């Protein structure tokens, strides 16, 4: 009897090990910000530090949460002399190398549409910045995306179940402190919430989230731009709230253009 109990215990323990190790590299169907994440400013959560073997240094990670909602007041204070409707994750923190990225399908959107739309939106930002070398070329990912909140030097776009009222999350890793000339971005990930229905064109399906409208905003974060929450800036692409049927973010406004061209 004792031998039988030992055998059962070994099977249970061994079975658990196989189960957890077999899925450790897979993104769960539904996930939320890590427990260690700390909100450091409106909609921005610190993920802590991670070691970057490529540069033999530590980098910081931030998750930027895009909430559903309409224009409302925020914590940002306009500078003297008027309101400047753009901002940076950290002044000087930008891409200094060009890296490829992957897209993983989801939400019923066609692979070709998502890839082409992301590529086109990247070009829109790069044209505004006066450069063609911020984010690299995209391709269809193989298998499943890795954990977006863990630093792995991969740049990925995916779809998954997020918290209620969260449209999308962009995670950026890099150096955000110290002299501005030494700051840089080194990795990015984006996740679009499958709790919402998505469409290729909200002008045709106004009850759904317009992917173009949301993704061009998220790509602004991937390039180093911050959310803007002042209600007087609600018309810009980097305004921090969005909702179904919205398409106004598709086109960059002058503050968006000034912001990206100033950074790059």
Tell me if 217 is assigned to some domain.
yes
Task: State pLDDT tens for residues 54-71.
Answer: 999 999 999 999 999 875
The answer to whether residue 28 is domain-embedded is: no
3-state helix, strand, coil in the chain (%, to 5): 25, 25, 45
In this structure, is residue 20 part of a structural domain?
no
**pLDDT above 70: residue 204:** yes
Which residue in the block uniquely carries the two structure tokens 């503050």? 255
What is the domain extent for residue 172? 36-263
SS3 115: helix
132 neighbors 126 (Cβ within 8 angstroms) = yes
pLDDT band with cut points at 50, 70 and 90 for residue 83: confident
In a domain, 61, yes or no: yes
Please report which confidence band the pLDDT of residue 101 belongs to, taking 50, 70 and 90 as the band edges: very high
Q: What is the mean pLDDT of residues 230-253?
A: 97
- Alpha-carbon distance 88 to 98, whole Å? 19
Q: Specify if 7 maps to a domain.
A: no
- For 170-184, the pLDDT digits (tens) are 999 999 999 999 999
Residue 10 has pLDDT above 70, yes or no: no
The percentage of residues in the chain with a pLDDT greater than 90, rounded to a whole number, is 81
Name the DSSP class of 5: H
Look up tokens 């918290």; give the residue.
163
Q: Considering the chain, what is the average pLDDT of its residues?
A: 87
Per-residue exposure over 19-40, b if at least 16 CB sit within 10 Å of its own CB, e if not: eeeeeeeebeeebebeeebeee
Could you tell me the CATH number of the domain that includes residue 250? 3.40.390.10
Number of helical (H) and strand (E) elements in the chain, helices listed first: 4, 11
Look at residue 164 and tell me if it is in a domain: yes
Q: What is the pLDDT of residue 180?
A: 95
> Would residue 90 count as lying in a domain?
yes
Chain segment 251-260, per-residue pLDDT in tens: 999 999 999 9
Number of domains in the chain: 1
Please indicate, yes or no, if residue 50 is contained in any of the structural domains.
Answer: yes
């Amino acid at each position: 009897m004792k031998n039988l109990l030992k055998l059962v215990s070994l099977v249970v323990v061994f079975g658990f090990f196989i189960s957890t190790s077999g899925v450790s590299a897979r993104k769960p169907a539904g996930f939320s910000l890590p427990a260690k994440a700390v909100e450091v400013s409106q909609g921005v959560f610190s993920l802590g530090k991670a070691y970057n073997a490529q540069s033999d240094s530590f980098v910081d990670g931030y998750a930027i949460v895009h909430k559903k909602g309409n224009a409302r007041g925020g914590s940002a204070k306009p500078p003297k002399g008027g309101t400047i409707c753009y901002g940076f994750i950290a002044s000087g923190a930008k891409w200094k190398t060009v890296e490829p990225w992957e897209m993983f399908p989801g939400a019923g959107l066609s692979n070709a549409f998502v890839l082409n739309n992301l590529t086109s939106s990247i070009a829109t930002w790069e044209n505004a910045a006066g450069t063609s070398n911020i984010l690299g070329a995209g391709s269809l990912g193989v298998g499943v995306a890795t954990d977006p909140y863990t630093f792995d030097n991969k740049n990925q776009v995916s779809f998954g179940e997020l918290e209620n009222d969260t449209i999308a999350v962009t995670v950026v890793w890099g150096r955000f402190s110290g002299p501005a000339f030494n700051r840089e971005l080194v990795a990015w990930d984006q996740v679009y919430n499958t709790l919402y229905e998505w469409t290729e064109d909200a002008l045709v399906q106004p009850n759904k989230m317009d992917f173009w409208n949301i993704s061009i905003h998220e790509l602004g974060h991937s390039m180093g731009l911050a959310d803007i929450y002042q209600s007087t800036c609600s018309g810009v692409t980097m305004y921090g709230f969005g909702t179904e049927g919205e398409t106004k973010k598709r086109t960059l406004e002058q503050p968006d253009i000034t912001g990206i061209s100033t950074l790059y």
